[in-house]
Amino acid sequence: MTHYQTLARQHWTRYASARVTALPNPDEFFQTLGQEVHHQVTALTVQLAGPDVPEESYLEKVGRLSAARLQAEELVLTELVWITSPETTPVEDREAWETDRTSDTWLASWAERIQDSREDQTPSTEELTELAAQWMLPAVFLEALLEAEFPAQYLTEQSELLARAADRRYLNR
């Protein structure tokens, strides 16, 4: 089994088991799907990476190609693999998740509570790392949030980073 084949089968089994059960030949279906994902990721990676840059170092090239591959995987997997149950569309599923998830404003409230605390209740490095992992944000982001004069404003300024973190949390739920 290829990586994409395994990934698709695990996801479909978890989130759309009725679809998997209804397949006449699941092994063949997931093999074909895995191959299609692989081909599309490969083609899109080449397109996203663009041509080699003459003054680019080896490490810069590896970074550019790796970033292109990750972006291609995200796009193709979202389109072909990350399905939900047949009762909802992907848009409806995401809207439901957005409605149920903890709002980003919770982070501002958390930072303000710590800032307003009369006692030194600064979270430990371990606590920050754990919270960062839950929110799929860098720990330095949370440290900067705690240092911000106006945490809610800091979140507004970092809206793109928060949106990307929300996307990762949604895909990894």
Nearest to 43 by CA among 20, 75, 86: 75
pLDDT tens-digit map of 91-102: 777 887 888 889
pLDDT (mean) for 137-147? 93
The overall average pLDDT reported for the chain is 88
Residue 69, CA distances (Å) to 51, 138, 158 in order: 14, 22, 25
pLDDT tens-digit map of 95-137: 878 888 899 999 999 999 998 886 667 888 898 999 999 999 9
Query: Is the CB of residue 15 less than 8 Å from the CB of residue 87?
Result: no
- 159 by Cβ neighbours in 10 Å (0-12 / 13-18 / 19+) ranks as exposed
The pLDDT of residue 47 is 94
Given a cut of 90, whether residue 34 has pLDDT beyond it is yes
Least confident of 34-38, 54-58, 115-119: 115-119
| Tokens read off for 129 | 């790392």
The pLDDT of residue 170 is 82
Q: What is the gyration radius of the CA atoms in the chain, in angstroms?
A: 21
| Tokens read off for 83 | 């399905």
Nearest to 100 by CA among 92, 88, 89, 109: 92
CB atoms within 10 A of CB 59: 8
Name the DSSP class of 25.
-
Name the DSSP class of 86.
T
The pLDDT of residue 40 is 94
- Determine which helix (DSSP H) or strand (DSSP E) holds 96, and give its type and residue range: helix 90-100
CB atoms within 10 A of CB 34: 21
CB proximity list for 119: less than 8 A, separation 6 or greater:
none
